[in-house]
Structure 1
Amino acid sequence: MIAIFSDTHSNSGHELTGEALHAAREADTVIHAGDFTSTAALESFQRECDTLFAVHGNADSAAVRDRLPTARVVEAGGVRFAVTHRRDGGEMGLAMFGRSRDADVVVSGHTHRPTVIETEDCLLMNPGSHAQPRGNRTGFIVLEETDNGDDGGDGDGDDPKLTGELRQPDGTVLESIVVSP
């Protein structure tokens, strides 16, 4: 399983609850698109997750920025993820960021608005914010690898893909997601 978070904004710990905390603990890979805010929050995430790939955001302290890159590429579940906190240029800027990294998916944060948008180049995912939705719904994303269905590979129906959901911390599904590399 892959769990995706962003904008958890905390001065003390990860602040995850419910299904979001369960996903962070159970995931093989956790991706975080920045704005932990403090080293306490980053280190708390690191303790909960087996494998954490994170970038820093604009609200992160200097100590967090020193420990995390601005952008990174993660390969998980047969999919290439380009991760950043934000990019100028909105959807187009994020799609260009993904294209320049040969990504199937771009994970970003910053807006606190949980969204999944399909573009010509890649899928754009923003898990939203667990802690500070700022008028939006709280959110995180969970993806799991599947072997069924054909995703445009060789036509034999057994190409891997990821399926999952954009969820609220209590487990309420906001949107279903299919990622085809």
Structure 2
Amino acid sequence: MTTIAIFSDTHSTTGHELEGEALTAAREADTVVHAGDFTSVAALEAFQDECGTLFPVHGNADSAAVRDRLPTARVVEAAGVRLAVTHRRDGGETGLAMFGRSRAADVVVSGHTHRPTLVETEDCLLLNPGSHADPRGNRPGFAVLEEPDDTADDAGGERPAVLEGEIRQPNGQPVESFTLERDPAGDREQP
């Protein structure tokens, strides 16, 4: 079973600030995505030390040293889905959807608001995991996408390809659940 863990807005000068189920998810996920605002090199490096495969971008509050190491945006393909990752985009949901469309993304991962949010658009899912460490009046959050355990139907054929997703609090308590269709063959048109 493939797992993708998604984080944003750590805002730390000392480390990753991960605890409980959030720390377990970061350590055990096949792919970890971070939508920026580590704030410090110490926080970035602490994430890198915990995660096997980390795909981060930088945010507006990141130090110059972090910005020098990370891109503003990136595309990550994992578990048959294409994620377009950015910290924020001008134009709100419309701007994020256009960013995703221009990258043929199934999911746009963003941060900045510190508010766990899911928005379905015509072209893609907009996912903000919130902040696991600095929620600023919102629920603390991170997100996980996982392949279901049972992928074959009763006749031995394949079921529709989906990933099950949740935004969770650091203690593992679910905030919101969703299902994401994916392309099991990984076929994508390149923009």
Structures share fold, TM-score greater than 0.5: yes
- 1:111 touches 1:128 (CA, 8 Å); kept in 2? yes
Deviations 1:21-49 (A, max 9, x none): 00000000000000000000000000000
The one-letter amino acid paired with 1:102 is A
- Unaligned stretches of 5+ in structure 2? 183-191
Q: What corresponds to 1:178 in structure 2?
A: 179
- 106, 109, 120: which one pairs with 2:108? 106
Q: Take 2:127 and 2:46, find their aligned partners in 1: how far apart are those partners? A: 24
Is the contact between residue 14 and residue 44 of structure 1 (CA under 8 Å) also seen in structure 2?
Answer: yes
The residue type equivalent to 2:168 in the other structure is: R
**What is residue 132 of structure 1 aligned with on the other side?**
134
Q: Percent identity?
A: 77
Query: Please, what TM-score do these two structures have when normalized by structure 2?
Result: 0.89
- 1:62-141 pair list within 5 angstroms: 62-141=64-143
SS in 2 for 1:164: strand
**1:159 Cα shift?**
3.4
Q: How far apart, CA to CA, are the structure 2 residues paired with 1:161 and 1:22?
A: 23
| CA deviation after TM superposition for structure 1 residue 148, in Å | 3.9
Please say which of residues 105-114 and 157-166 is displaced more in the overlay.
157-166
Alignment match of 1:36 (pick from 35, 38, 50): 38
3-state DSSP of counterpart to 2:22: helix
Equivalent-residue separation in structure 2 for 1:125 and 1:48 (angstroms): 23
Does the 8 A contact of 1:86 with 1:110 survive in 2? Answer: yes
Checking the alignment, whether the CA contact within 8 Å between 1:24 and 1:49 is kept in structure 2 is yes
2:12 alignment partner, one of 10, 13, 16:
10
SS at match of 1:81: strand
